[in-house]
């Protein structure tokens, strides 16, 4: 029984230690995983996993592994920021795979990227034909950045010579039938206003609303609860 308690304590400690290391290293370590980050994450997982099942290793050993790992990555991050020449080796560099609408086969071959993989990455960017692409760049983290040809780009207000408008960030006021009071206070909106607005749209009570979103100058966007048992196949068309 004591061995299970020891493993539980080590697991909890390892979890929080890794969480702290992740917070220290920053969010970019999560969203922009480079080959070096991938290898180091596998290595750390292996070290911590082995420590959990090693009877001779405990919390001090796990702490030592995590601290050394975090320190090593932190030093590498500082080096890559201070010395630009090391970034190519440690973080990788972007590669142009489509240039002026033409596939750069040498770069695709160098990066081990075949046409099917490229099409998959383009579809993730809502591009379903290579003919629409002017430039495509394979980033160090494996994603593709796309610049469409002029004929396929979405026109902006500037292109249409329209006057600029204020951009506002929508905020959630109701989530899963519950009022988010902090968000109401942030926008200086009383609960009475929310209740009245809901009634104006044909609903009797907050409990009928699954989600409500507010944006300045726009009508309140409301998504009511739906009973899936009463939905018919025709309703999905």
94: closest CA among 80, 70, 110? 110
Q: Is residue 162 part of a domain?
A: no
Q: Is residue 164 part of a domain?
A: no
* DSSP letters for the chain: -HHHHHHHHHHHHHHHHHHHHHHHH-THHHHS--HHHHHHHHHHHHHHHHHHH-TT--HHHHHHHHHHHHHHHHHHHHHHHH-THHHHHHH---EEEEETTEE-HHHHHHTT--HHHHHHHHHHTT---GGGEEEEEE-TTS-EEEEE-GGGSPPPTTTTTPPP------EEEEETTEE-HHHHHHTT--HHHHHHHHHHTT---GGGEEEEEE-TTSPPEEEE---GGG--GGGG-
Convert the pLDDT of each residue in 164-208 to its tens digit: 777 778 899 998 888 998 999 988 999 999 999 999 999 988 888
Weakest-pLDDT range from 49-53, 57-61, 173-177, 221-225: 49-53
Q: Are residues 6 and 80 in the same domain?
A: yes
Q: Are residues 99 and 78 in the same domain?
A: no
Q: Are residues 126 and 68 in the same domain?
A: no
pLDDT band of 19, cuts 50, 70, 90? low
Q: Are residues 68 and 109 in the same domain?
A: no
**Number of domains present in the structure of the chain:** 3
> Which residues, other chains included, contact 57 with Cβ-Cβ below 8 Å and sequence gap of 6+?
50, 51
Q: Which domain holds residue 178?
A: 171-230
Q: Is residue 158 part of a domain?
A: no
User: How far out from the chain centre does Cα 75 lie?
Assistant: 25
- Cα–Cα distance measured from residue 179 to residue 160, given in angstroms and rounded to the nearest whole number: 39
Q: Which two tokens stand for residue 29?
A: 């370590």
Please identify, among 44, 70, 88, the residue that sits at the C-terminal boundary of a domain: 88
Alpha carbon dihedral 175, 178, 181, 186, in 10-degree steps, equals 20
- Cα–Cα distance measured from residue 153 to residue 144, given in angstroms and rounded to the nearest whole number: 17
CATH number at residue 117: 3.30.240.20
What value does the mean pLDDT take over residues 224-234?
Answer: 53
Q: Are residues 211 and 226 in the same domain?
A: yes
Query: pTM above the 0.85 mark?
Result: no
> Which residues, other chains included, contact 78 with Cβ-Cβ below 8 Å and sequence gap of 6+?
none
> Which residues, other chains included, contact 201 with Cβ-Cβ below 8 Å and sequence gap of 6+?
220, 222
Q: Are residues 66 and 36 in the same domain?
A: yes
What value does the mean pLDDT take over residues 122-128?
Answer: 91
Weakest-pLDDT range from 114-123, 151-160, 169-178: 151-160
Q: Are residues 58 and 128 in the same domain?
A: no
Q: Are residues 138 and 105 in the same domain?
A: yes
Weakest-pLDDT range from 4-8, 129-133, 171-175: 4-8
Q: Are residues 142 and 177 in the same domain?
A: no
| pLDDT given at position 53 | 65
Q: Give me the helix-helix angle, 2-25 and 35-53, nearest 10°.
A: 160
Strand partners, 224: 209
Q: Are residues 45 and 122 in the same domain?
A: no
- Cα–Cα distance measured from residue 129 to residue 119, given in angstroms and rounded to the nearest whole number: 8
Q: Which two tokens stand for residue 225?
A: 């609860």
């Amino acid at each position: 029984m004591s061995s299970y308690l020891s493993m539980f304590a080590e697991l909890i400690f390892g979890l929080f230690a890794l969480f702290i290391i992740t917070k220290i290293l920053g969010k970019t370590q999560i969203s922009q995983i480079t080959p070096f980050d991938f290898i180091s994450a596998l290595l750390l997982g292996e070290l911590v996993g082995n420590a959990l099942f090693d009877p001779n290793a405990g919390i001090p050993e796990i702490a030592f592994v995590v601290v050394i790992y975090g320190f090593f990555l932190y030093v590498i991050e500082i080096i890559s920021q201070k010395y630009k020449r090391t970034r190519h080796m440690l973080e990788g560099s972007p590669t142009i795979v489509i240039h002026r609408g033409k596939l750069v086969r040498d770069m695709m071959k160098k990066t081990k990227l075949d046409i099917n993989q490229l099409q998959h990455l383009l579809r993730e960017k809502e591009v379903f034909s290579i003919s629409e692409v002017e430039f495509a760049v394979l980033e160090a983290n494996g994603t593709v950045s796309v610049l469409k040809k002029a004929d396929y780009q979405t026109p902006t207000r500037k292109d249409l010579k329209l006057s600029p408008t204020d951009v506002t960030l929508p905020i959630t006021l109701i989530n899963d039938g519950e009022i988010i009071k902090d968000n109401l206070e942030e926008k200086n909106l009383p609960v009475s206003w929310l209740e009245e607005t809901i009634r104006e749209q044909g609903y009797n009570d907050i409990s009928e609303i699954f989600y409500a979103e507010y944006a300045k100058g726009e009508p309140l966007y409301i998504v009511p609860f739906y009973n899936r048992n009463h939905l018919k196949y025709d309703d999905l068309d």
